[in-house]
Chains A and B, each alone.
Chain A
Amino acid sequence: SQTIHQWPATLVQPVGSPLSLECTVEGTSNPNLYWYRQAAGRGLQLLFYSVGIGQISSEVPQNLSASRPQDRQFILSSKKLLLSDSGFYLCAWDRGFSNSPLHFGNGTRLTVT
């Protein structure tokens, strides 16, 4: 069966520090991969998606970046965090078909202080 791992679960970082969140998917190949951000009590904001290794599309201009160094690995990074980067970050994957369920990880709660 397919599983998605996302870590860490919580993270507290000072303003200006770097960030690296990692997500890996097991049990499937060539998935579409996504990074979403959810502010407290708010909806799901799509940040990045990838349909293949090295292929990254950005939905929102910001100081975050994403990379996909391997087929089932998706990394979210920042060189210098801002207070506004605080939120709940969710990695997800699907098969890219019309009726393909989107499978989410359990998220990383990031607090920038």
Chain B
Amino acid sequence: QQQVKQSPQSLIVQKGGISIINCAYENTAFDYFPWYQQFPGKGPALLIAIRPDVSEKKEGRFTISFNKSAKQFSLHIMDSQPGDSATYFCAATLFYSGAGSYQLTFGKGTKLSVIP
């Protein structure tokens, strides 16, 4: 119930195309849904995030779509560029009473390759 399932595991997109990565969750107590971007040899960095009371959030070419009833959310990268080639992780936050703190649960990641 604590899992976030992410698909696909890898994705190849032509330059200028749309990249779509999907995530699904079961635990309705998750209350914040960020996406992280990781370039090779670097740590992940926050890309964009959404709250479950919002159905869509857009920042530049990156858009999160959120479907609360289906317990699914997705990342869309419009006009994909070779510089977008990276691993993308979806995540969800949950309050852990034992720790007295919110913590992230990550999906397993999607390796995106944008080819010229």
Contacts and interface: CB of A to CB of B under 8 A. Distances in A.
B77 to A, nearest CB: 20
B49 A99 contact: yes
B12 interface: no
Contacts of B103: 32, 49, 96
A98 B46 contact: no
B100 interface: yes
B45 A104 contact: yes
Interface in A82-113: 90, 92, 94, 96-102, 104-107, 109
A102 B104 contact: yes
Interface string B82-116: 00000001000101001111111011110100000
Interface of A is mostly: loop
A92 B45 CA distance: 10
Interface residues of B, number: 27
Contacts of A98: 31-32, 93, 95, 102
Given A104-B44, A104-B45, A106-B42, A43 B32 contact: no
A96 B46 CA distance: 15
Contact of A107 (B32, B42, B89, B109): B42
A42 B111 CA distance: 10
